[in-house]
Amino acid sequence: MISVLSTTNSYMLQPSLVEMHRQSLDYQSAAALWKRELRFFQKLIDQYAPKFSTVDDKKRLDHFQSLLTYYSGELVDELNKKIRQHEADLARLLQKKNESDTKYFKEHQELMAQVAAFCKSYDELHHELYDFIEKVM
């Protein structure tokens, strides 16, 4: 894979391509962290679930369990796959020395919007789960 730097041996990269590369790498790292945190969240639920006794609490536990299963088993992996593919597309773009491919820029914006939406949803889950578990700690 091509190492993206502000200047290469054969041409100068547009700053936006370098920024896109940085964002993609940041989100790849974030996806690894999300997977790890989701495993931790599952351990929290497993540890504290027996302390919840009301029907409403058990329903919330089921809700959290469903979200964790969906996020860790599908959503994070799918986002990471899209990000890796996006990076591969960037590498091909750079190998061809074609920085005018507007399709790539549009795809980048769409992918970053998807990831931003996920980040917001994930952050809400994170806070809601901690608030819920704190009730029995």
Q: Name 38's Cβ contacts closer than 8 Å, sequence gap at least 6.
A: 68, 71, 72, 76
Within-domain flag for 39: yes
Q: Name 87's Cβ contacts closer than 8 Å, sequence gap at least 6.
A: 1, 21, 24, 25, 28
Buried b / exposed e over 85-115, threshold 16 CB at 10 Å, is ebbebbeebbeeeeeeeeebeebbeebbeeb
pLDDT digit string, tens, across residues 49-72: 999 999 999 999 999 999 999 999
User: Which tokens in the block code for residue 94?
Assistant: 């750079």
Is the per-residue pLDDT at 14 higher than 70? no
Is the per-residue pLDDT at 39 higher than 60? yes
Of 16-25, 46-55, 71-80, 112-121, which gets the smallest average pLDDT?
16-25
Provide the domain count of the chain.
1
Within-domain flag for 104: yes
Is the per-residue pLDDT at 120 higher than 60? yes
Within-domain flag for 9: no
Within-domain flag for 2: no
Within-domain flag for 8: no
Higher-scoring residue by pLDDT: 25, 14: 25
Q: At 10, is the pLDDT very low, low, confident or very high (cuts 50, 70, 90)?
A: very low
Within-domain flag for 77: yes
Within-domain flag for 1: no
What is the value of pTM for the model shown? 0.80
Report the distance separating Cα 95 and Cα 2, nearest Å.
8
Within-domain flag for 69: yes
Angle in degrees, 0-180, between the axes of helices 102-134 and 15-48, rounded to the nearest 10: 20
Tell me the residue range of the domain where 46 lies: 15-134
- What pLDDT is attached to residue 23? 87
